[in-house]
Chains A and B, each alone.
Chain A
Amino acid sequence: MATHTEQLTTVEEAPAVRLVGLTRSFDGRTVLDGIDLDLPAGQFTALLGHSGSGKSTLLRAIAGLDHRVTGSGRLAAPERVSVVFQDSRLLPWRRVLDNVLLGTDGKEAAERGRAALAEVGLAGRERAWPNELSGGEAQRAALARSLVREPELLLADEPFGALDALTRIRMHVLLRELWQRHRPSVLLVTHDVDEAIVLADRVLVLDRGRIGLDLTIERPPPRSYRDPLPGGPSLFERSRELGGEYRERLLTALGVTAHQEHAEHQEDHQ
């Protein structure tokens, strides 16, 4: 215990999140089975796993949202944590700007809220009601709400799951840009292998309650990400090329064989 604390202070960059033997179970069924994990500050991590593998459970534990859940283990997370949910979760009775400002204080808060909305491309929509926004716009407003608190850790649980493919690509570019500008640690839960490779520097696969695969994604220096125009296809294309090998390894870790995937593609094209 003592050595542990020492480590945290002496290591040059202390991890933003540290999980030690994290266990969670529901009705006697163990979902997380002693997870040890460090998320370095400023890292963009993606978490993959089958449906029901416990991704949301892990994320909720880190967010401190798992009240009345049995479990053990130690968990250290930063103070300023933002969460982006699969649904935008905007309060329908507050205008967009007031939604973004939920839980913030002070005079400059409104200014920061406007700036955050402008950053996600929603300048001028401050006075709109949430049900006047499209799905993609609502999710961007939710991103603005998470940014305005200047989080040290951004947790996102399938934030683009409900969006169409085109909007999703644009959101990928936006999220990556926002991350580069603000540098929070990010933990992104997704079930989309390609999304994980495009966005993250490190991909974890959750399998039977443990981290089954911990994959670091090597990338060209960030500079080349800015070279293509925002929203241009090259970011996506390049990452796809690079990702071919990672993709294979991740799919194998998820238990999808090349044969199965091939069959699925054939079905898609019929």
Chain B
Amino acid sequence: MTTTATTPVVSTPAAQARPLPRTRRRTLAPGKRLPASRLIGPGLVLVLWAAASAAGQLDPAAIPAPWTVLRTAGHLWSDGTLSTDVLTSLERAGYGFALGLTAGVVLALAAGLSRVGEALIDGTVQLNRAIPTLGLIPLFILWLGIGETFKIAIIAIVVYIPIYLNLHAALSGIDHRFVELAEVQGLSRVRFVRQIVIPGALPGFFVGLRLGVTGSWLSLVVLEQINATSGLGYLMFQAQNYGRTDIILVGLLIYGVFGLVSDSAVRIVERRVLSWRRTLSN
């Protein structure tokens, strides 16, 4: 009995000398984020584009070289036309987005926090959502005229729908365990909403917000190409008539930069506000 017990003890140094087997599991999370990783993809596309242009692989009439596009942008800027168009477009998108954001949040709060509000609002919004918003353009032109108002209205509608849907779902999907907790802790209705319902709904709100931001640019492009007398889309529409692909590319690039910058801004705000979340992304 004693001998069998001591044998393993004697042999432990040898066992320790053996390399330990690898026991750590491979992580399934994507790993640490590369710095400025979101710019790598677009940068690569730019490099390929430049390389192909320099090698003469691209028809300059169909896809002009990056430097041609830059030069055109410079000309347009010094003309003063580009800055006016950019400002006009920004203003439209800005007003439309602000309006849509406000409407989406107010309606979602009203529908998510009261049964009466839900009865009045939710069905109506769902109906509105079923109608393709761009299909409303002719009607809105007749109602509001072909000026700025109808464009802003259309953008606002495109923006408010995803914000409403996501925020409302988040507000009404509040974990019933937290409702119970609030009752036990004797929270007032106002405090329950402020301290539990709204913070709990913020992740859903940000999903809607990002969809709304994307939607505002998307509808802007469509609106400005269909009927406008100024703005980036108008600039591109005119360029099409004269076969100026370089100008069209200038417009597209600016739209792209707008989209990227606004989405990044929302992400930054989101990361700060939801700092309590430890998800795969950080």
Contacts and interface: CB of A to CB of B under 8 A. Distances in A.
Interface of A: 63-65, 81-83, 85, 87, 89, 91-94, 102-103, 129, 131, 145, 149
B184 A63 contact: yes
Nearest to B188: A103
A205 B34 CA distance: 59
B183 interface: yes
B195 interface: yes
Contact of B185 (A64, A93, A103, A131): A103
Given A65-B184, A82-B184, A103-B186, A92 B276 contact: yes
B278 A83 contact: no
A131 B282 CA distance: 14
A81 B200 contact: no
B181 interface: yes
A103 B187 contact: yes
B189 interface: no
Contacts of A93: 199-200, 202, 274, 276
A87 B178 CA distance: 11
Interface of B: 177-178, 180-187, 191, 195-196, 199-200, 202, 274, 276-278
Nearest to B185: A103
B195 A131 contact: no
A87 B176 CA distance: 13
10 contacts: A83-B184, A91-B195, A91-B196, A91-B199, A93-B199, A93-B276, A102-B185, A103-B182, A103-B185, A149-B185
Given A103-B186, A103-B187, A103-B191, A92 B277 contact: yes
B146 to A, nearest CB: 46
B177 A85 contact: yes
A202 to B, nearest CB: 24
A65 B180 contact: yes
Contacts of A87: 177
B186 to A, nearest CB: 5
Nearest to B274: A93
Contacts of B191: 103
Contacts of B182: 103
A131 B278 contact: yes
A153 B277 CA distance: 34
Nearest to A90: B181
Nearest to B186: A103
Q: Give the residue among B181, B182, B196 with the most A Cβ atoms within 10 A.
A: B181
Contacts of B196: 91
A149 B278 CA distance: 30
B114 to A, nearest CB: 18
Given A92-B276, A131-B276, A102 B177 contact: no
A162 to B, nearest CB: 14
A91 B178 contact: yes
B194 to A, nearest CB: 12
A64 B182 CA distance: 12
A99 to B, nearest CB: 10
Contacts of A89: 177-178, 181
A103 B183 CA distance: 10
Contacts of B274: 93
A87 B183 CA distance: 16
B183 A65 contact: yes
| Top 3 A-B pairs, shortest CB-CB distance | A103-B185, A93-B199, A83-B184
Nearest to B203: A93
A104 to B, nearest CB: 8
Contact of B195 (A65, A81, A102, A129): A102
Contacts of A149: 185
Nearest to A103: B185
B272 to A, nearest CB: 13
Contacts of A94: 195, 199, 276
A223 B180 CA distance: 38
A267 to B, nearest CB: 28
Nearest to A87: B177
B184 A81 contact: yes
B58 to A, nearest CB: 51
A137 B185 CA distance: 20
Contacts of A63: 184
Given A92-B276, A129-B276, A102 B180 contact: no
Q: Give the residue among B177, B187, B276 with the most A Cβ atoms within 10 A.
A: B276
Contacts of A83: 184
Contacts of A102: 181, 185, 187, 195
Contacts of A82: 184
